[in-house]
Amino acid sequence: MLPAVTLVMLLAALVHLFVAVYNRYLLGITDSWWKPWIHLVWFVVSVAAPATATIWLLGEGMGPVREALTWSPFTHAGKALFVVMGLLIAFFGVRLLIWFEERVFPERPTGLISERVSEAVVPSVTPTLPRGLRRLETTSDLLVTEREIAVAGLAPAFDGLTIAHVADIHFGQRLEMENYFDGVRNVVAGLDADIIVLTGDFVDTRRDISRAIEYHAGFRGRIGTFYVMGNHDYWTNAKRLREGFERTHLRWLGGGDRRILKRMGRRLIFTGTDAPWDGVWRPDFRRLVRRETGDAVVLLSHTPDNAPAAARNGASLVLSGHNHGGQICLPVLGPMIVPSRYGLRYAGGLYRVGADGLLNVSRGIGASSGKIRVLCRPEICLLTLRAPVVPVMAGRVITARAILKPTENAGEEGVMGY
Ligand SMILES: [Fe+2]
């Protein structure tokens, strides 16, 4: 029993350490100066203490445990150790219960008005897993997740604006995936979104860059198509990729540029960041997402780890990818690979960040390392933005959309531009 508990704790601690080390020391992102101590304490509590105790108890032939159970006065060190072990197991048990509770009763973030998930028909890729396990493979089982969300600060003039959020295509490597990628682009085109955002990880290898540029240029939002770069783009060749995209209609926001939609005297601001892979470890979010006029700001960031700081400084909506929904998800255990300093928290979905910000993390289209998804379906997100609810006289509450007279809506689409 005790060695088994130690093994489980060891596994949990190693996953935690991997995520911590990967983010802090390889990616160079950190929340605050005391974070490393948390990882150290976690490691000691989860591994070092129970491992030492297990080895010691086994060496003693479980004698101290039997002795502790007789509940004689505290004279033997084994009893104290047994109590400590009990507390550690209880601590781990409580964590496990919280972990299950989060999965069985996922939090529905305030701001989510409705959600609809539908199947998308795209050419499938050749399975990687052997025949007996193929039911688990979801590499090309594309879904469209439609979310209607109330966005803080959104002017009624933009109520109903749609954003198709496409992330982590990871173009290339497996050639037969190109049919699947073409299918993805057709599905996005069919959504007829006002804005298309591409949140990075376009390509994995240098030889695929030209084809990747050509492929991504096929995404065209009715008003605009914006993008930021991901870690794989920087590891491949971000400069070449960006130069290629500059010759298309795609607009890079990763350097903090702003694209502003104007309508009926109000503004909706789109901006972005490539941090931390562009070398900026701590972006100046106060400048990046400032809301001088109180208008809503949408931030594109490949990693969702930038979202809490962005929301604290005024971002109304952050659009991210990077975590792939875990990419490999096991039954009960859930997401296995989440390269985030927040662990599993932002694996994929819609989240509340800061006081009134929202974060949409797309599970993405493709897959990195191994090009396989297990029990983790790729997705395109279609977001419909809604202005927050406005209270009116006589105790009635109506949405901002209803306040607009039909004549004010009619013919305004053409005015919308930047
Ligand atoms: Fe990715």
Spans of all domains in the chain: 2-104, 112-403
302 alpha carbon – ligand 1 mean position (Å): 8
Compute, in degrees rounded to 10, the torsion defined by CA atoms 316, 319, 323, 329: 90
Residue 315, Cα to own-chain centre: how many angstroms? 16
Q: Which two tokens stand for residue 294?
A: 């109180």
Which residues hold their Cβ within 5 A of ligand 1, which is an ion? Answer: 168, 201
pTM: 0.76
The CATH number of 112-403 is which of 3.60.21.10, 3.90.1150.10, 3.40.710.10, 3.40.50.1780?
3.60.21.10
Residue of 411 and 151 predicted with greater confidence: 151
Find all residues with CB under 8 Å of 161, minimum gap 6, and list them: 194, 195, 261, 268, 384, 385
Measured between alpha carbons, how far is residue 82 from residues 61, 66, 94, 380 in Å? Answer: 14, 10, 18, 51
Per-residue pLDDT at 3: 65
The pLDDT score that the predictor gives to residue 414 is 33
Predicted confidence at residue 21, as pLDDT, reads 62
The three-state secondary structure class of 388 is coil
| pLDDT of amino acid 406 | 30
CA of 239 to the centre of ligand 1 (A): 18
Q: What is the pLDDT of residues 349-379, one digit of tens each?
A: 999 998 899 999 999 999 886 788 999 999 9
| Cα 318 to middle of ligand 1, angstroms | 17
Ligand 1 center from residue 235 Cα (angstroms): 12
309 has pLDDT over 80: yes
Residue 252 Cα to ligand 1 midpoint, Å, equals 18
Q: How many CB atoms lie within 10 A of CB 205?
A: 15
Higher pLDDT, 34 or 265: 265
Q: Cα of 337 to ligand 1 centre, how many Å?
A: 11
What is the predicted pLDDT for the residue at 354?
87
Give the sign of the dihedral formed by CA 53, CA 58, CA 63, CA 66: positive
CA 368 to ligand 1 center in whole angstroms: 6
For the chain, give the percent of residues with pLDDT over 90.
Answer: 47
394 Cα–ligand 1 center, Å:
50
Residue 304 alpha carbon to ligand 1 centre in Å: 12
pLDDT at 355: 86
Joined tokens for residue 386: 């809604």
**What confidence score (pLDDT) does residue 65 get?**
61
Point out the least confidently predicted range of 24-28, 187-191, 325-329.
Answer: 24-28
Note the pLDDT tens digit of each residue in 126-149. Answer: 888 888 888 899 999 999 999 999
Q: 175 CA distance to ligand 1 centroid (A)? A: 18
| CA 232 to ligand 1 center in whole angstroms | 7
Residue 163 sits at φ, ψ, to 5 deg, of -125, 120
pLDDT top residue among 65 and 339: 339
CA of 168 to the centre of ligand 1 (A): 4
pLDDT at 363: 96
In the predicted model, what is the mean pLDDT of the chain? 81
Distance 364 CA to ligand 1 centre (A): 7
Radius of gyration of the chain, Cα coordinates, nearest whole angstrom: 25
pLDDT of the residue at 415 = 34
24 CA distance to ligand 1 middle (Å) = 18
Residue 393 pLDDT class (50, 70, 90 cuts): very low
Only one residue has tokens 């531009």, namely 417
User: How many whole angstroms from 298 Cα to the centroid of ligand 1?
Assistant: 21
Indicate whether 175 pLDDT > 60. no
Residue 101 backbone dihedrals phi, psi, to 5 degrees: -60, -40
Å from CA of 220 to ligand 1 middle = 21
pLDDT at 112 over 80: yes
Mean pLDDT to the nearest integer, 34-60: 67
Average pLDDT over residues 46-59: 70
By three-state DSSP, how is residue 231 classified? helix
160 to each of 17, 67, 190, 398, 418, how far by Cα in Å? Answer: 43, 69, 17, 15, 18
> Strand 397-398 relative to strand 390-391: parallel, antiparallel, unpaired?
antiparallel
pLDDT at 73 exceeding the cut of 60: no
- Which is more confident, 321 or 344? 321
* Number of neighbours of residue 92 by Cβ within 10 angstroms: 17
For residue 43, is pLDDT > 70?
Answer: no
Lowest mean pLDDT among 79-83, 160-164, 213-217, 370-374: 79-83
